[in-house]
Amino acid sequence: MRCGPQNLKVSPIYSEQKVALMWEDNTFCLLIQDEFAYDVDVLSTDDMTAIDHGVVVVPRDRTGSIHYWRWASPLPLECAHNTFRVRGRYKDQLGISAPSEPQVFPKDRVVEVGSNVTFCCIVPPGVTFQQMTVSSYSNRKTITTQINSQTYAMTVHLHKPSPASGTDVTCNGAEYGACVYAGYPPRDTDLQCETRDLESVECHWRTERKTNSLANRRTLYKLLGRICWSASNRTANKYRCVHNVSIQAQERNWTLTAQNVLGTLELTDRADLTKRVHMFAPQELTSSRIHARNASLVWQWSTSQYNKLNIRCQISLRSNIHTDVKNYSGVGLNHALLQGLTPNLNYAVQVNCGTEEHFWKWSDSKYATFQTAGDIPDALDVWLWRMEDNQTIILWKTPQPSQSHGRILDYEVTWSLPSAGQQETNNSTVVVFPPGNSAAAELDPSREHVVMVTARNSHGRSLPASMVVLRRAPGEVTNVSRIVGRGGGFNLSWPAHPDSSCGYMVAWTPTFTRGTGDWKKVPPGVTHAFITENLTPGVRYSVCVYTCIGGAPQLLERREGYVEETMIPAKQITGLRWEHVGSDVRVSWTAIPPENRTAFVQGYIMYYRRLGAKDAGLNPVHLNVTTDDPEASSLTARGVHVGSYSFAVAALTSVGEGGGNAITLTVNPPSYKSIMAIAVSFSNVLILLLLTTIVAYKNWTCIKQKVYPPVPKPVLHCDWLTLMEDHGHSILNTRESHSSQKENVDVPQVFCNRVAASTEADREGAPFLPNLGANGYYQQQQQQPQRKAMETTTKADVSQSALLSFPPPPPSVFENLLYTAGMPEQNT
Amino acid sequence: MAEQDGAADAVLDEPAPRRSGTGRAVALARLLHQECGHLLQLYRERESFLDDHTPEGGRIVSLSPDTLGDDPGVEERVGLLHAALRQCLGLLHCLTLREVEEEMGELEGEYEAMRKNVRSRLEHLLLSTRVLLPQPGEAEVTPDNPCTEEVDGEMGSFALKMWTYRVLLELLHWADHASLTLHVIHTQSQETEEV
């Protein structure tokens, strides 16, 4: 008999002191085409004696179904352990009994966190106890105690709350076990009650999720004694309960009771709910009667109770240019008129309402959108820039959507000469199409002009924006003062002008860049402005303030400055050069061009240090000199010793030192130059002398002939000779001692030996050597070239007159004493 | 599994006239199988003591022994499959009731969301298999379970967990069986059309 039960489950019902059994037929039972039965035995676990017995008959048509059997225990189930045995029986044949599975007790106990709970596992006969485990406590060591042959116990300290599905206690694997729930008594807080429709109370409170994790043992809430069936809002731990109740204008207690198996908690909120009206959101919010600059909003209320309520509604208007909030009030308020709107703009509306008196909370929001109707564009913001070539650029700011009120089709620019008394004025008109926003005009600077600009969209043309261009005054000079930027802009203020009828204008443009700039119009009565648009750090701007008199701007003041000074880029200081003056070194430079300056120069600083000082074991001194003259172009370092130096020059500005550049130089000893000069000069002289000597030596004969030709020998009579012997000898002695002439011939020899002297004179190259004899006059006249003189002498009769007619020696260094000593003065 | 999903999605995305009834059923069955696996995984993560545990006992949903023929025809196979899936839907229906009752309300976790998803998919599959039956009008698609189990006695939370686990395993088994069976039927029907 193999037919028998499978999947036998034994379930105790403690409250009824009963045990319910459930099992299924195994597959062998399905083969039985006849009625069969199950024998159920209740045994005492201790000694396995039968306590009770039952039979479950399975009709043929119930084969394959699940079978049940209940047993009423004479004792409380906790008092005794019982074993249940189920066996199939067919035609008096008993089959095997399905072993009862291990049982774990207690089942589904609810305890407070921190409790110690003892679990027992009862294993059926023949089954060996292996282990008991508690989920999420597996890391904790537990001690299992054997109670009897089939029963084992384990105590667990449940120190943490159980998850929503409980803490599982298993025995001999995951198939058999029990659940236990560790949680807390109710710990709800923050009860607050209000009314939404003046016909019911709505209370909110906060709960701890841990408490409510007790499945089937969850907290039961009662408000005013009535159960809150759908109290939870599990996403936020905030619970609410609503009951219909008559709302009276008086204070009373609103009581909430929270109860679970571990305890009960009571919360109370005392309030007059007529002062706590939390309105519903307006319904059916729609916009109507929409115009260019106003529109109407209407809505409905979901409860008639609001019709008697003094309501305040806050309407938020949002567009892509601004957000505005308007408040409206009234009894049963259900409409609002929106004014001051911008044409052709999309608006998003948000409406929130509350009670005007005893305001409690804003209602939920209601939203709507609408678009205002279009209109002609607003008048343009126009400005003029006079360029250097008498051309005037007429500029206007491209209107924003809040100003254009539709797509701009074109701009019309007109300039004319307003001449009173003349019927015709010289008009010029030009049409500019978007995205253009400027027009150029040749305006005679000596005459006054009126410029008008209009914009056109599909709804028409805007009012004209006009400006009077005064004639330019010759020699107009304006003092320029400095302005410093702050907070990303220029903060300007100026004295009020008594004649300023149409306000002021502030215009700014880069100082060193040709072109137009930006402007801002200031209304009358206002004498300050803070400009921030189109200002770039490091760029110098010229900022001009104009007063508007009769539509014509007149310059009040002009300033220049940087919205933000930045560091001047390196190496803007150029042309560094230096000179050594005594023990000082003066370094000069070329100033930074104003257009390259990104900050005001307040002075200069020069650093210098000795190079290689460390290697030489010297102190590398770092020194500097400064000047607070922004126009300075040189600085002098004093007491600079011999050596190599690095000099660096930088401009001082409010943001630091910038534009720096450097040079390296070497300071030499002061005598060095002189010595060098002298040496060079001496060398040059020596070289010159050497060259001259060489040339003179080589060309001595020619030079002698040129410079000092030989003196011809005089023709002497014997009488003269006798005279000489008497007187001339001593004279010759006197003169010869001073003579340095080279041709000091012996007179008697000359006369007598003139031919020989001539021969001697042919020798060229004979050195020029003054040769004084012992008696003081030359002895060796043969050595001296006397050719010319001798030749002259031989050609003519020598007479006294001829002697006297010899040409006098050329005035030269070489004095010819022959002609000068004792000779009567001759007039040649 | 990813490839199956892609193939299932591809079949479902085909225009209705082109996509055959069996093709659609195959795709639905494959999706159901994937989602049942995911649901089982979520439950194991929640009840960690079930990790890798295989419960004892046979199938909860079993076919009638009279129908265990040697070579059941297509209609018979579809009919048996439809009956089994209907029992599965009944089990899932009871499981949902018991869990909601146990929690005293609907939780909104990932497991609960996937449970809803599986139920919806199973209902669609039943509609698809009904279309394949010779007399679709007579086939039921409502849950086949009065949920009267354990009327006597308290099932206990732990026993409910084990039962839930077995039901999820049952769903996974029959979703797999459905995808295999319908795939065979779909292949045979396509071969028949080509001939």
User: pLDDT by residue (tens digit) across B72-128?
Assistant: 677 788 888 888 999 899 999 988 888 877 765 556 789 999 999 999 999 999 998
Query: How many CB pairs lie under 8 A apart between chains A and B?
Result: 96
Number of continuous H segments (helices) and E segments (strands) in chain A: 11, 51
**Helix B110-132 × helix B74-103 angle, to 10°:** 160
Of A30, A107, A166, the CB nearest to B65: A30
Q: How far apart are CA B22 and CA B7, in angstroms?
A: 14
pLDDT at B138: 64
Whether B6 is covered by a domain: the verdict is no
8 Å CB contact of B154 and A166: no
Q: How far apart are CA A502 and CA A273, in angstroms?
A: 59
Whether B130 is covered by a domain: the verdict is yes
DSSP label at A807?
Answer: P
Q: A315 and A337 in contact (C-beta within 8 Å)?
A: no
Q: How far apart are CA A695 and CA A713, in angstroms?
A: 30
Torsion of CA A472, A476, A482, A487, to 10 degrees: -10
Of B53, B107, B152, the CB nearest to A174: B53
DSSP label at A714?
Answer: P
Cis preceding-peptide flag for A435 (omega within 30 of 0): yes
Give contacts of B66 with chain A, Cβ < 8 Å: none
What is the rounded radius of gyration, in angstroms, for the C-alpha atoms of chain A?
66
HSE-up of residue A91 (Cα within 13 Å, Cβ side): 6
pLDDT at A472: 67
Whether B7 is covered by a domain: the verdict is no
pLDDT along chain A (828 residues), means of 10: 77 87 80 84 80 89 86 84 85 60 81 90 81 82 81 89 87 84 89 95 83 59 86 69 92 93 92 96 93 95 94 95 93 95 94 95 95 94 84 92 92 82 68 94 84 95 88 67 92 90 91 88 92 93 90 89 94 91 89 92 92 66 83 90 88 93 84 68 90 90 81 66 51 42 40 37 37 36 41 38 42 36 39
8 Å CB contact of A215 and B49: no
Residues forming a β-bridge with A77: none
pLDDT at A722: 55
CA distance A374 to chain B (A): 48
B153 at A interface, C-beta within 8 A = yes
Letter string b/e over residues A44-76, b meaning 16 or more CB atoms within 10 A of that residue's CB: ebeeeeeeeeeebebeeeebeeebebbbebeee
8 Å CB contact of A107 and B156: yes
Give contacts of B170 with chain A, Cβ < 8 Å: none
pLDDT at A597: 94
DSSP label at A400?
Answer: P
Whether B36 is covered by a domain: the verdict is yes
Tokens read off for A700: 């001595």
Q: How far apart are CA A160 and CA A167, in angstroms?
A: 10
- A572 alpha-carbon distance from chain centroid: 25
pLDDT at A1: 57
pLDDT at B64: 58
Whether B8 is covered by a domain: the verdict is no
DSSP label at A389?
Answer: T
Nearest CA in chain A to B155: A11
Q: Which of B53, B154, B166 to mutate to test the interface with A (most CBs of A within 10 A)?
A: B154
Q: How far apart are CA A434 and CA A398, in angstroms?
A: 9
Distance (Å) of CA A668 to CA A578, A582, A587, A621? 13, 11, 16, 18
Say whether A677 sits in a helix, a strand or coil: helix
Sign of CA dihedral A669, A671, A677, A680: negative
Interface confidence, given as ipTM, is: 0.76
8 Å CB contact of B157 and A174: no
Q: A200 and A245 in contact (C-beta within 8 Å)?
A: yes
Of B46, B53, B156, the CB nearest to A165: B46
Of B57, B150, B154, the CB nearest to A6: B57
What CATH number did the domain enclosing B25 receive?
A: 1.20.1250.10
Give contacts of A107 with chain B, Cβ < 8 Å: 154, 156-158
Q: What φ, ψ does residue A684 adopt, rounded to 5°?
A: -65, -45
Q: How far apart are CA A312 and CA A368, in angstroms?
A: 18
Tell me the three-class secondary structure of A317-362, residue by residue.
EECCCCEEEEEEEEECCCEEEEECCCCCCEEEEEEEEEECCCCCCC
Whether B116 is covered by a domain: the verdict is yes
> CA triplet A246, A247, A252: central angle to 5 degrees?
110
Q: Where are the beta strands (DSSP E) in A638-704?
A: 643-653, 656-667
B46 at A interface, C-beta within 8 A = yes
Nearest CA in chain B to A214: B103
Complete DSSP assignment for chain B: -HHHHHHHHHHHTS-TTTS-HHHHHHHHHHHHHHHHHHHHHHHHHHSGGGTT---SS--SS---GGG--SS--HHHHHHHHHHHHHHHHHHHHHHHHHHHHHHTS---SHHHHHHHHHHHHHHHHHHHHHHHSSSGGG---S------TT-SS---HHHHHHHHHHHHHHHHHHHHHHHHHHHHHHHHHHHHHH-
Whether B2 is covered by a domain: the verdict is no
Distance (Å) of CA B113 to CA A391, A733, A772, B119, B127? 76, 154, 147, 10, 22
Say whether A477 sits in a helix, a strand or coil: coil
Whether B102 is covered by a domain: the verdict is yes
8 Å CB contact of B150 and A177: no
Q: Hunting for tokens 């930045």 — which residue is that? A: A566
**Helix A787-795 × helix A754-762 angle, to 10°:** 140
| Amino acid code (one letter) for A73 | S
Q: How many domains does chain B have?
A: 1
8 Å CB contact of A177 and B47: no
Give contacts of A72 with chain B, Cβ < 8 Å: none
CA distance A435 to chain B (A): 49
Domain range for B132 is 19-194
Nearest CA in chain B to A137: B49
Give contacts of B65 with chain A, Cβ < 8 Å: 30, 64
Give contacts of A19 with chain B, Cβ < 8 Å: 153
Of B55, B56, B158, the CB nearest to A168: B158
8 Å CB contact of B161 and A107: no
A22 at B interface, C-beta within 8 A = yes
Of B48, B55, B157, the CB nearest to A135: B48
Letter string b/e over residues B77-104, b meaning 16 or more CB atoms within 10 A of that residue's CB: bbbbbbbbbbbbbbbbbbbbebbeebbb
DSSP label at A80?
Answer: -
Total residues belonging to chain B = 195
pLDDT at A45: 74
Q: Hunting for tokens 């009860």 — which residue is that? A: A191
> CA triplet B100, A135, A6: central angle to 5 degrees?
70
Total residues belonging to chain A = 828
A13 at B interface, C-beta within 8 A = yes
Q: Which of B63, B155, B157 to mutate to test the interface with A (most CBs of A within 10 A)?
A: B157
8 Å CB contact of A12 and B155: no
Q: B193 and B82 in contact (C-beta within 8 Å)?
A: no
Cis preceding-peptide flag for A161 (omega within 30 of 0): no
Nearest CA in chain B to A104: B158
pLDDT at A233: 59
B7 at A interface, C-beta within 8 A = no
Is pLDDT of B174 > 50? yes
Sign of CA dihedral A246, A247, A252, A254: positive
Mean pLDDT across chain B, nearest whole number?
A: 78
> CA triplet B171, B175, B179: central angle to 5 degrees?
175
Q: Which of A165, A209, A213 to mutate to test the interface with B (most CBs of B within 10 A)?
A: A165
CA proximity to B55, closest of B185, B188, B170, B183: B170
Q: A381 and A402 in contact (C-beta within 8 Å)?
A: no
pLDDT at A130: 86
Q: How far apart are CA B12 and CA B30, in angstroms?
A: 11
Who contacts A441 (Cβ-Cβ below 8 Å, separation ≥6)?
A391, A392, A393, A394, A413, A415, A428, A430, A449, A451
H/E element, A705:
helix A700-707
What is the rounded radius of gyration, in angstroms, for the C-alpha atoms of chain B?
18
Q: How far apart are CA A823 and CA A731, in angstroms?
A: 11
